Structure 1
């Protein structure tokens, strides 16, 4: 077996894994598609829990860092970032 990694990055509305997906990126290391996928306007899953149910393995969750006083409404990066992976068999090299 020759396995390759697929990575899915989901940005959620809150730190809860069952909250709504507000942004995403997907990377396919199998060579079957372009390295980045996900040109759709619809997220691949409604929540992080839905990705888990479909076989994705969670390997990193965002740190919970409170905003500085007075910065609660500042626009910045998406802070509730979760990384998932799948190992896909691509056959013998």
Structure 2
């Protein structure tokens, strides 16, 4: 078995919120690590990824902004890691 990892950045901490960024890593070797060849995310929401068989294994910690920094631009903070296990395509 080989692991595939999907990282989705959502617009809020809710799994049914919209995907705003993503990365995909394929341990099977069938595709290269990439953010995709398309401007469209692989799923519209994190919930859609769950419904397609991806298993959620990590969500970002919820940290409140420091006072006075509520509107600072920074990293995408609503990060969710998903995995799928696929048969190894190699003999």
TM (normalized to structure 1)?
A: 0.92
Q: Report how many aligned residue pairs link the two structures.
A: 91
Deviation for aligned residue 1:49: 0.3
> What corresponds to 2:15 in structure 1?
17
Q: Is the 8 A contact 2:19 2:46 kept in 1?
A: yes
Q: Deviations over 1:17-72 (max 9, x none)?
A: 11000000000110111133512100000100000000000000010000001111
Deviation for aligned residue 1:90: 1.7
1:55 maps to 2:58: no
The 2-side partners of 1:35 and 1:78 are apart by 19
Alignment root-mean-square deviation, CA: 1.2
TM (normalized to structure 2)?
A: 0.94
Question: Unpaired segments of 5 or more residues in structure 2?
Answer: none
